[in-house]
């Protein structure tokens, strides 16, 4: 069927145009089969993005040793992917509404493959940062399609809750597979091999997505607000860059204040522009619904805690306890397995207890798990860590499941694309700010413990204050007792910084538990 509507009935507002293959319209169960087949394809798409979000965590020490990035460069290597992804979700989400969501999705697969190859052979930190930025752009093409299509093809709230459970469990699988695959590859190959795993996933996703996914577009009313999308992208960049600079002991420098102020101003102007436009990129009236805004805030807080802690925990396991990358991935596996279980059980828990109790309890459980992880010290306590990681994974996934389901159900079907873009932006923004904020807290607590070690030259102490990996390198170059003293001081300072970071994270999670009290008590019929 052509895109014109001069003949036949008009499609309802908010229902995407679909070009479905005739072979799917056979049999009484065809519609159901089609829905669940689409869910499988969307989950594969999500797996591609989720694996790349965590696969680099166990490779950070190897990247540091090979490319020798500075402290800020190292933060950018890890953080530029979620930052670019969060910044461009609105742009590519609305572009998909215009030119076709499947088309943008497939372009995202292709860009992901090219960027993965570039990252694998990057000879300098700058090229690796650029490749990670391209990966973020590919992720921004892929992610908006998953939730918006899921909201459209599962109009029934109970079925949608089950689909979201599967979707979130796949995200947990990606988080688990990332460190494990990364650890296995680092045991046998160089660090760049962790990016090569994206290429076979992309090679499978391209033909499967082109064959199985129907093309769909949203409403074409009004011009596409490119300027607004760019304002949002640069605004997010400026704000998060300012947060990063705070961690480098440059809180009041022009390089920190100016980007943060410009970014905040751009975001304010973006909001004002969207409110004035007859056809905005983002329907900000959704935030007038308390449950929607609260759900978005809960997603940000949950991801802020999860991603930052995973990165710091991976460094702790390798640099403090001396585990191999593969052993590190196995140690983190209980966290993601618990998250998988929580995702699969989420539908029943939600129906029994409702969004408010589910999300609040998830935050409380997560905060308790985070505080229990303060047992991490210079000595290995494997069973205590496993118990803490299990509680952490189950609590965080319970929180994310309830928040996502409430957000999607609160948004009407006609606003599914915008709601999905907001949800994915909050997810990636929470991840980006989490690494920046908790990394900044970590650096601020760590640096004073190594910049004035007795017997260590001031220049060496300054270099060691950038990161624990760099401190070990400086200690290896020093002779005798000075090197040993610096190594012990750096390890103890890192453990101290880890404990401070855990306490700050627990406080943020407690704030999330209070905020979740604004969610509805029970399930209400979703607007169609």
Concatenated DSSP letters of 438-506: HHHHHHHHHGGGTTT-TTS-HHHHHHHTS-HHHHHHHHHHS-HHHHHHHHHHHHHHHHHHHHHHHHHHH
Q: What's phi and psi for 83, nearest 5 deg?
A: -65, -50
| pLDDT for the residue numbered 486 | 86
Ranges of beta strands (E only) in 324-470 are none
CB atoms within 10 A of CB 241: 21
| pLDDT for the residue numbered 6 | 32
3-state helix, strand, coil in the chain (%, to 5): 80, 0, 20
Q: What's phi and psi for 26, nearest 5 deg?
A: -105, 140
| pLDDT for the residue numbered 54 | 67
Q: Do residues 170 and 434 touch, judged by C-beta distance below 8 A? A: no
> Cα 317 from chain centroid?
21
Write the CA distances from 395 to 274, 275, 300, 359, 364, integer angstroms: 35, 36, 15, 9, 8
| pLDDT for the residue numbered 360 | 93
Q: What's phi and psi for 121, nearest 5 deg?
A: -110, 15
CB atoms within 10 A of CB 461: 19
Positions of the chain with pLDDT lower than 50, given as ranges = 1-33, 526-528
Cα(474)–Cα(493) distance, integer angstroms: 15
3-state secondary structure of 123: coil
């Amino acid at each position: 069927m052509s895109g014109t509507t001069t003949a036949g009935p008009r499609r309802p507002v908010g229902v995407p145009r679909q070009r479905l293959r005739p072979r799917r319209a056979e049999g009484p169960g065809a519609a159901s089969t089609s829905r669940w087949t689409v869910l499988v394809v969307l989950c594969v798409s999500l797996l591609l993005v989720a694996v790349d979000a965590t696969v680099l965590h166990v490779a950070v020490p190897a990247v540091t040793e090979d490319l020798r990035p500075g402290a800020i460069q190292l933060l950018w290597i890890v953080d530029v992917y979620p930052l670019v992804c969060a910044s461009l979700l609105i742009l590519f989400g609305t572009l998909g509404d215009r030119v076709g969501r499947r088309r943008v999705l497939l372009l995202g697969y292709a860009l992901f493959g090219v960027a993965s190859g570039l990252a694998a052979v990057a000879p300098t930190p700058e090229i690796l940062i650029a490749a990670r930025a391209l990966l973020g752009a590919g992720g921004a093409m892929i992610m908006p399609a998953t939730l918006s299509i899921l909201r459209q093809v599962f109009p029934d709230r109970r079925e949608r809750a089950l689909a979201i459970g599967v979707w979130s469990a796949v995200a947990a699988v990606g988080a688990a597979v990332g460190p494990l695959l990364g650890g296995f590859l680092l045991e046998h190959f160089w660090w760049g091999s962790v990016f090569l795993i994206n290429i076979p996933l992309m090679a499978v996703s391209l033909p499967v997505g082109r064959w199985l996914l129907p093309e769909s577009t949203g409403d074409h009313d009004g011009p596409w607000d490119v300027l607004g999308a760019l304002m949002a992208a640069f605004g997010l960049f400026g704000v998060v860059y300012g947060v990063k600079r705070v961690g480098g002991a440059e809180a009041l420098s022009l390089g920190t204040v100016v980007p943060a102020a410009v970014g905040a101003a751009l975001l304010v102007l973006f909001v004002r522009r969207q409110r004035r436009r007859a056809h905005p990129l983002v329907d900000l009236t959704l935030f007038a619904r308390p449950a929607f805004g609260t759900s978005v805030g809960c997603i940000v807080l949950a991801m802020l805690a999860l991603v930052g802690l995973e990165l710091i925990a991976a460094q702790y396991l390798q640099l403090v306890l001396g585990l191999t990358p593969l052993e590190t991935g196995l140690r983190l596996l209980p966290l993601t397995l618990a998250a998988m279980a929580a995702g699969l059980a989420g539908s029943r828990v939600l129906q029994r207890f409702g969004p408010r109790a589910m999300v609040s309890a998830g935050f409380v459980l997560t905060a308790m798990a985070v505080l229990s992880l303060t047992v991490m010290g210079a000595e290995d306590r494997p069973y205590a860590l496993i118990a803490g990681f299990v509680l952490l994974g189950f609590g965080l996934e319970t929180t994310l499941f309830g928040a996502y389901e409430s957000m999607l159900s609160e948004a009407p079907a006609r606003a599914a694309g915008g709601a999905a873009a907001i949800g994915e932006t909050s997810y990636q923004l929470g991840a980006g700010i989490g690494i920046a904020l908790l990394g900044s807290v970590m650096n601020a607590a760590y640096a004073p413990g190594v910049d004035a070690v007795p017997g260590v030259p001031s220049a060496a102490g300054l270099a060691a204050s950038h990161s624990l990996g760099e401190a070990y390198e400086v200690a290896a170059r020093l002779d005798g007792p000075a090197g040993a003293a610096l190594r012990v001081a750096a390890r103890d300072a890192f453990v101290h910084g880890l404990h401070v970071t855990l306490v700050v994270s627990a406080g943020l999670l407690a704030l999330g538990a209070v905020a979740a009290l604004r969610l509805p008590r029970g399930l209400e019929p979703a607007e169609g």
